[in-house]
Amino acid sequence: MLSATFHLVSAEKILIEFKGSYLAYSYDFSQIYGEDVRFRILTYEVSCDHLKIDISARLFYAYGSVVLKKEGERLEGDEFFFNPEEKRGTLVSYKDIVEVKRLGSREGLGAAEAEKEEDIAFPTDLLETLTLSKLQSSLFYFTCEIIQVTEAYEVLGERVILHLEGLEAVGFNKFKLSSGLKQRSSGFSLDKIWFTKSQGIIARGSYRYRTPDRVNSLTQLNYEERSVLKDYVGPDRQVDILNSTSFVIDKDTNASFTGNYNSSNLWNASLVLNKKWSQSFSTNFDISYNKPINFKGETWFGFDSTLYGGHWGDLALAGRYEVQDQVLGSLTYGKTFLERFSLLLNSMYSKIKIVGSDDYSEIFTGGVSLSYDSRVFNLSSDYYLNHDLFGSQLLSQPQLRVGINPFTFYGGILVASVTNIFIYSDVKLGAEHQDSYSNNTIFSLSTQPMYMVPGLSLDMSVAVEQFLEKEDRNFTSGGFIGRATAEIRRGFFLEGLYNFQSRRRTRDWLIEGTSSQDLSAIFRANPSNRLNSWVSFSYDPKNGRWTQSFADISFEVIRKWKFHTLVNYDFILDKLNNIDLFLVREAGRVQLRFMWRSLSKQFSVELIPR
């Protein structure tokens, strides 16, 4: 990421230049603050007391003694919102009323644009929260007297001082302050040359080709030279070439190509043509080739169409053919009728070559689902069919699902629900025939948190499940979870959690089963953004022993540096299972992390773009 920052100064055209007594640019937030600033826009020379710019949001705002001058004209105001790309601005004066004067190109604006332009007089909270103090809290910020913004919204500075974590670090005569927020229009870019002890020499480059509203193509090259590494087992070097290209053929037709080549003899390519026949009907045609490592390549031709038929329902149809006689096909139809009924039909056929043989698996599956959903209950009936034509196996499986929607009672404190699912399966394998059925009933009852005294709440839930099947393997399961939460003082909580689970198997007169219990205590502390932690201890009352302890502790050390640790202790094994330590600096668009993990015994530093 930083390697991109230290690129040579861009040769792109300058969109606007600012001169001031003090200009600060934050790399973290991509924002600019200025004092006593002068710039030129719309043939006006502009001067102001303060300047705020949010590069990402394209917001430009000058305020305090704003004066716009050109030959024979002088305008004064308190605020000036401007857009150098669209060459327009709005001057606002706070007198007895708020006076607004618009400048620049406004002709030909539609209603939406005009409304957007109205909004410019009242910018988002983004500018109101942009302060010099915020920028000075950045991990990287720069100060200088001249800042230029290019047409690609890259930021250049002259006679720049870099401030690293608030400390003056080093000066530069001319420097590209940002990494560029908009991709360059066309051309080659060498993005990175790097060396690491684990990967060797890494080089990354890209080539972008773009014609406005027609072609957009990006080719990326990744090269890793590993022969320089000691004791490295594997290929000396690896090359990856990736291409992604999209073409707009006309307003209803576009195409895209993706290709990927890897020097380990793996490559794939696909071409997709999308045609929109009408607002409700579109089709994709595609050709693809995929060459996995050590296997023969496959060439597929396919299409998929979607038809949104309004009250007639929606239909999707797809088919694919491979030159080695492999076939995939699917049909889906869905419709909602009489407001509460839904119908879904789907069928799929596949004929796929079995790896390592000349045989094909051939499977036909189909399903139909009809459901009804009312405010009180829901009912769904499904039928599923799977026909393995190669193995001559036919599975048909109807099922019926009935449920009472969760309902509240006892003044809204209690919530209950009941669901029942019945499944019947019929399997035909050649001349043999087998059938089975099962029924599953689930009842659950839970409470909302009940405040016994101020700062102490209780909530609990109970669930019972009965599973019956033809083979007489019947199970009854039940569980109870109870939780008490006490707020000791603002932001500090003590929680107690009791969990009991029981599973019983009944067969004729025999009842067998097991039960488990868990008692946990959790201490949480999140009184402010600077401290957010919890520690838990678990106890097994059934066996009378402590089991586990977890801790997740996070607090701010200094200037947005946060210390974070994850700890797990196993009382049964009397062993510290895991401890991870993090020191994290949140820096706007990047995050800097120093990490140590006990499991891998590795220390690492990461700079992660966000």
Partner 1 sequence: MKNRWIFIFCVITLFVGERCVSFKIEPLPEPEKLVKTLVLCKGIIPDGELLAPVDETADFVLGDSGVICFLELTNVSQAMTLKWKWYAPGGALFKETSAVPVNENRLYIETVTAYDKLDTQDEERFAGRWVVVILIDGELAGRQTFSIHGQ
529 in contact with partner 1 (CB under 8 A)? no
Residues 6+ apart with CB under 8 A from 38: 18, 19, 20, 45, 46, 47
Question: Which of the residues 389 through 448 are near partner 1 (CB under 8 A)?
Answer: none
Among 4, 15, 132, 442, binds partner 1 (CB under 8 A): 132
DSSP-assigned letter for residue 588? T
344 in contact with partner 1 (CB under 8 A)? no
95 in contact with partner 1 (CB under 8 A)? yes
Instruction: Please answer whether residues 315 and 325 qualify as being in contact, where contact means their C-beta atoms are separated by less than 8 angstroms.
Output: no
Q: Shortest gap between Cβ of 559 and partner 1 (angstroms)?
A: 15
Among 1, 45, 86, 94, binds partner 1 (CB under 8 A): 94
97 in contact with partner 1 (CB under 8 A)? yes
Measured from the CB atom, the residue of 35 and 382 that comes closer to partner 1 is 35
Instruction: Please answer whether residues 202 and 195 qualify as being in contact, where contact means their C-beta atoms are separated by less than 8 angstroms.
Output: yes
Q: How many Å apart are CA 182 and CA 192, to the nearest integer?
A: 18
490 in contact with partner 1 (CB under 8 A)? no
Measured from the CB atom, the residue of 173 and 278 that comes closer to partner 1 is 173
601 in contact with partner 1 (CB under 8 A)? no
Burial tier of 160 (Cβ tally within 10 Å: 0-12, 13-18, 19+): buried
Cβ neighbour number for residue 540 with a 10 Å cutoff:
16
Q: Shortest gap between Cβ of 138 and partner 1 (angstroms)?
A: 15
Among 170, 233, 376, 453, binds partner 1 (CB under 8 A): 170
122 in contact with partner 1 (CB under 8 A)? yes
For 585, the token pair is 């600096």
179 in contact with partner 1 (CB under 8 A)? no
For 231, the token pair is 């004791």
With helix as H, strand as E and coil as C, how does 399-424 read? Answer: EEEEEEEEEEECCCCEEEEEEEEEEE
78 in contact with partner 1 (CB under 8 A)? yes
First to last CA, the chain: 11
Instruction: Please answer whether residues 262 and 238 qualify as being in contact, where contact means their C-beta atoms are separated by less than 8 angstroms.
Output: yes
Q: How many Å apart are CA 191 and CA 63, to the nearest integer?
A: 38
Measured from the CB atom, the residue of 97 and 293 that comes closer to partner 1 is 97
Residues 6+ apart with CB under 8 A from 54: 29, 30, 31, 126, 127, 130
> Binding residues for partner 1, how many (CB under 8 A)?
34
Q: Shortest gap between Cβ of 131 and partner 1 (angstroms)?
A: 6
Q: Shortest gap between Cβ of 32 and partner 1 (angstroms)?
A: 14
Only one of the segments 96-104, 251-259, 434-442, 467-475 lies at the binding site for partner 1 (rule: CB under 8 A); that segment is 96-104
DSSP-assigned letter for residue 449? -
Q: How many Å apart are CA 161 and CA 141, to the nearest integer?
A: 8
160 in contact with partner 1 (CB under 8 A)? yes
Instruction: Please answer whether residues 246 and 259 qualify as being in contact, where contact means their C-beta atoms are separated by less than 8 angstroms.
Output: no
74 in contact with partner 1 (CB under 8 A)? no
Buried/exposed 18-44: b ≥16 CB within 10 Å, e otherwise: bbbeebbbbbbbbbbbbebbbbebeeb
Q: How many Å apart are CA 116 and CA 9, to the nearest integer?
A: 34
Measured from the CB atom, the residue of 470 and 530 that comes closer to partner 1 is 530
Among 12, 17, 145, 580, binds partner 1 (CB under 8 A): 145
Q: Shortest gap between Cβ of 492 and partner 1 (angstroms)?
A: 20
Q: Shortest gap between Cβ of 31 and partner 1 (angstroms)?
A: 15
Question: Which of the residues 566 through 595 are near partner 1 (CB under 8 A)?
Answer: none
Q: Shortest gap between Cβ of 451 and partner 1 (angstroms)?
A: 23
Let me know the angle formed at the C-alpha of 257 by 256 and 262, rounded to the nearest 5 degrees.
155
Q: Shortest gap between Cβ of 57 and partner 1 (angstroms)?
A: 16
Measured from the CB atom, the residue of 124 and 408 that comes closer to partner 1 is 124
Measured from the CB atom, the residue of 166 and 297 that comes closer to partner 1 is 166
Q: Which amino acid is at 584?
A: V
For 418, the token pair is 């009941």
146 in contact with partner 1 (CB under 8 A)? no
Among 63, 207, 360, 467, binds partner 1 (CB under 8 A): 63
Among 108, 133, 355, 512, binds partner 1 (CB under 8 A): 133
Among 59, 135, 144, 590, binds partner 1 (CB under 8 A): 144
115 in contact with partner 1 (CB under 8 A)? no
Beta bridge partners of 371: 342, 380
174 in contact with partner 1 (CB under 8 A)? yes
Q: Shortest gap between Cβ of 515 and partner 1 (angstroms)?
A: 49
- The residue among 480, 468, 372 whose CA lies nearest residue 420 is 468
SS3 266: strand
Q: Which residues bind partner 1 (CB under 8 A)?
A: 21-22, 35, 49-50, 63-65, 78-79, 94-98, 122, 125, 128, 131-133, 143-145, 159-161, 168, 170-175
